[in-house]
Amino acid sequence: MPDQTKERIVDAAYRALVKQGYHETSMKDIAAEAGVAPGLAHYYFETKEDLLVATIERACQPVMEAWRQAGMNLTGPLPEDADPMVVARMGFELAKEELRTYRGLFLLTFDMFGVGLHNPKIAAAVRAFIDERRAFIARITQGVIAGMNEAPIASADAIAAALWGSLHGIYLQKVMNPDFDAEAAIDALSEMAIAFATRPRVSLEVR
């Protein structure tokens, strides 16, 4: 049962990493959590970094699945007949849903961001992670802009970057402080985005 064992190690790595973080989790810890010998993890993963990357990818699968079930594909194109405004609103709802469901994944992700600051291999994985989600938001934004009364100054990519950043920043505040009302913050962001998308001609001059 080689594949099964590999999976058991990745699952154990997820639990251990969520609980203790990358630098505080040893390969021995992970092996113990998986109930295998200390050396076995290195049979399947050459380095600890590789195991972390595999763990992230695995942990993202249920999220991707949730998006797909909601009729949205993070990587594929938007459905032909989709109203971008509707998709955007659904996106904000899904963001709130994620917040309730995937606290462990966020811990893992933010931990990986920290590690990636000084680790090229992890940094590459982090950039890919960001790019995928940002590109998805950009596709929606593109459609929203097309339907706007007045073209915005900023590009769809820049707006997507601001939106992704905002969601990330809100998630971070939630992880750092469980009492933080992240849903209210997402609602606020949503309200800003809608005001932007439905704005009439507006002067940028200070009143």
Partner DNA sequence: CCCTTTTATTTGGTCAATCAATCAAACGCG
Partner DNA sequence: CGCGTTTGATTGATTGACCAAATAAAAGGG
Token pair in block for residue 4: 């099964």
Q: Restricting to residues 180-199, which ones interact with DNA according to CB under 7 A?
A: none
Tell me which of 43, 65, 76, 198 binds DNA, using CB under 7 A. Answer: 43
CA distance 36 to 77: 42
Instruction: For residue 27, state whether it binds DNA (rule: CB under 7 A).
Output: yes
CA distance 140 to 156: 9
Q: Give the nearest distance from C-beta 37 to a second copy in angstroms.
A: 26
Instruction: For residue 32, state whether it binds DNA (rule: CB under 7 A).
Output: no
Tell me which of 7, 11, 15, 40 binds DNA, using CB under 7 A. Answer: 40
Residue 105 C-alpha from the chain's centroid: 9
Tell me which of 7, 11, 21, 42 binds DNA, using CB under 7 A. Answer: 42
Instruction: For residue 158, state whether it binds DNA (rule: CB under 7 A).
Output: no
Instruction: For residue 128, state whether it binds a second copy (rule: CB under 8 A).
Output: no
Tell me which of 5, 73, 119, 166 binds DNA, using CB under 7 A. Answer: 5
Signed CA dihedral, 142, 62, 191, 179: sign only = negative
Q: Map tokens 């998308």 to a residue.
A: 197
Instruction: For residue 119, state whether it binds DNA (rule: CB under 7 A).
Output: no
Among the candidate windows 23-31, 118-126, 144-152, 190-198, which touches DNA by CB under 7 A? 23-31
Instruction: For residue 41, state whether it binds a second copy (rule: CB under 8 A).
Output: no
DSSP state string for 10-27: HHHHHHHHHHH-TTT--H
Tell me which of 99, 111, 136, 140 binds a second copy, using CB under 8 A. Answer: 111
Q: Give the nearest distance from C-beta 122 to DNA in angstroms.
A: 12
Q: Restricting to residues 4-33, which ones interact with a second copy according to CB under 8 A?
A: 20-21, 23-24
Task: Give the alpha-carbon dihedral of 80, 84, 86, 92, to 10 degrees.
Answer: 120
Tell me which of 19, 37, 62, 158 binds DNA, using CB under 7 A. Answer: 37
Residue 9 or 185 with smaller CB distance to DNA: 9
Q: Find all residues with CB under 8 Å of 169, minimum gap 6, and list them.
A: none
CB 182 within 8 A of CB 163: no
> First vs last Cα of the chain: how many Å apart?
70
Binding residues vs DNA (CB under 7 A): 1-2, 5, 24-29, 36-40, 42-43, 46-49
